[in-house]
C-alpha cells in the first residue's frame, strides 16, 4: 500500500519520520512512513530500528498517545552494523495533518516514464516501475497488448504515439520498445529531438543503434546520439529475458532522473 492510499483511508495512522541521523544509516533525514493497526507504507530503513519504531507506533494507536520520539543506535543491540544513530519522531495524524500530508504528496510531482510499446519488455518494465516513485504511461496502438498489462500503468491506446512524446512534460524518460523497427526509429528520433528528456532508451542491439544513427542522419540530419541508451538494460550484456532487461532499464532510468535538471524523484 502507498502513503497516498493510506492517507485516503479512514484508519487511524501514526507518521514516522527520521528527524536526525548521526553517522551511517540506511536512510536520510526526512525519510518517512505511515503505520496503522494492520498495515504500513514507506520505510525509515528496515531492520530492527524500523521494527521497533513500528511497534511503538502501534502501541501509540492502542494507547491514544499523540507524540513520541525514539533514538536508536545502529549497532549490535539492534542487529545492524551501520554504526550510526537515528532519531525517529512519531506523530498520530489528526484530520488536518492527514490533509496537509496528502496535499504535500500531491504537490510533489513524480517524474514521468513513457513506455512506447506494450510487448513483453514494455509490460515487464511497467511491472518493475509500478511500485517506484514515478508516473508510468504505457503507450501502444494495439488494445490486445495493453489489455495484458492491466494494473501496472496508465494506458494510452493511440495510433499516433509520437503525439504522446510531443505532449510529455520536461524531464520525461522515454523507453521505445515497439513491435516495429521503423516505428522504433521514428519515436526515438522524436524523443531525442525534444532535447529535454531525462532518458531516451531504445530496445535492440549495437547493430540496431548503428542503423538508427544512419536513419537519423539521413532522415533529419540528426547525429547527436549522446543521450541515447541503446541497447537498454541487460540486452547489452546478452541477457534478453524481458524481466531482466526491465529491471536493469529501471536502474538506468532512475540514475538518469538523479542527474536530470528537473530533479530527483
Residues 226 and 120 in one domain: yes
Backbone φ, ψ for residue 71 (5° rounding): -120, 125
Burial (CB < 10 A; 0-12, 13-18, 19+), residue 74, is buried
Is 264 inside any structural domain? no
The C-alpha atoms of residue 140 and residue 160 are separated, in whole angstroms, by: 9
Residue-wise pLDDT tens digits, 155-180: 999 999 999 999 999 999 999 999 99
139 pLDDT higher than 70? yes
Q: 107, 123, 152 — which closes off a domain? A: 107
* Average model confidence (pLDDT) across the chain: 90
The C-alpha atoms of residue 232 and residue 139 are separated, in whole angstroms, by: 18
Is 265 inside any structural domain? no
Q: 107, 135, 156 — which closes off a domain? A: 107
Q: 85, 107, 129 — which closes off a domain? A: 107
The C-alpha atoms of residue 174 and residue 201 are separated, in whole angstroms, by: 6
How many Cα neighbours within 13 Å face the side chain of 33? 22
Q: What angle do CA 85, 89, 92 make, to 5 degrees?
A: 155
The C-alpha atoms of residue 138 and residue 144 are separated, in whole angstroms, by: 13
Quickly tell me which residue has 554504526 as its cell.
83
Is 116 inside any structural domain? yes
Report the side by side order of strands in the sheet with 199-202: 154-157, 135-140, 112-116, 173-176, 199-202, 228-229
81 pLDDT higher than 70? no
Domain range for 73? 3-107
Residues 14 and 72 in one domain: yes
Look at 261 and 264; give whichever has higher pLDDT: 261
Q: Is 90 left (phi over 0), alpha (psi -120 to 50) or beta?
A: beta
User: Residue 198: its pLDDT value, please?
Assistant: 97
Residue 101 near residue 15 (C-beta atoms within 8 A): yes
Percent of residues, the chain, with pLDDT higher than 90 = 75
CB-based contacts of 89, cutoff 8 Å, min separation 6 = 16, 17, 18, 19, 67, 68, 69
The C-alpha atoms of residue 123 and residue 152 are separated, in whole angstroms, by: 8
Residues 120 and 218 in one domain: yes
82 pLDDT higher than 70? no
Burial (CB < 10 A; 0-12, 13-18, 19+), residue 221, is exposed
Number of domains observed in the structure of the chain? 2
Q: Which range has the top average pLDDT, 47-51, 67-71, 80-84, 149-153?
A: 67-71
Is 263 inside any structural domain? no
Amino acid at each position: 500500500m502507498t502513503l497516498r492510499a493510506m492517507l485516503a483511508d479512514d484508519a487511524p495512522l501514526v507518521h514516522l519520520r527520521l528527524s536526525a541521523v548521526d553517522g551511517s544509516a540506511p536512510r536520510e533525514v526526512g525519510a518517512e512512513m505511515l503505520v496503522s493497526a494492520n498495515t504500513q507504507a514507506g520505510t525509515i530503513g528496515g531492520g530492527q530500528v524500523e521494527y521497533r519504531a513500528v511497534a511503538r507506533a502501534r502501541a501509540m494507536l492502542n494507547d491514544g498517545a499523540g507524540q513520541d520520539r525514539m533514538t536508536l543506535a545502529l549497532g549490535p543491540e539492534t542487529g545492524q552494523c551501520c554504526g550510526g544513530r537515528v532519531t525517529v519522531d512519531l506523530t498520530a495524524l489528526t484530520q488536518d495533518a492527514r490533509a496537509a500530508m496528502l496535499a504535500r504528496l500531491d504537490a510533489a510531482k513524480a517524474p514521468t516514464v513513457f513506455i512506447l510499446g506494450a510487448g513483453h519488455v514494455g509490460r515487464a518494465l511497467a511491472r518493475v516501475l509500478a511500485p517506484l516513485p514515478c508516473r508510468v504511461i504505457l503507450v501502444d496502438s494495439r488494445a490486445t497488448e495493453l489489455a495484458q498489462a492491466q494494473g501496472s500503468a496508465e494506458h494510452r491506446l493511440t495510433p499516433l504515439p509520437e503525439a504522446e512524446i510531443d505532449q510529455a512534460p520536461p524531464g520525461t524518460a522515454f523507453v521505445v520498445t515497439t513491435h516495429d523497427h521503423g516505428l522504433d526509429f521514428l519515436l526515438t528520433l522524436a524523443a531525442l529531438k525534444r532535447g529535454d528528456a531525462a532518458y531516451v532508451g531504445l530496445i535492440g542491439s549495437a547493430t540496431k543503434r548503428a542503423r538508427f544513427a544512419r536513419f537519423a542522419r539521413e532522415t533529419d540530419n540528426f547525429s547527436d546520439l549522446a543521450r541515447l541508451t541503446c541497447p537498454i538494460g541487460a540486452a547489452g550484456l546478452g541477457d534478453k529475458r524481458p524481466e531482466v532487461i526491465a529491471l536493469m532499464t529501471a536502474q538506468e532510468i532512475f540514475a538518469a532522473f538523479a542527474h536530470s535538471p528537473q530533479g530527483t524523484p
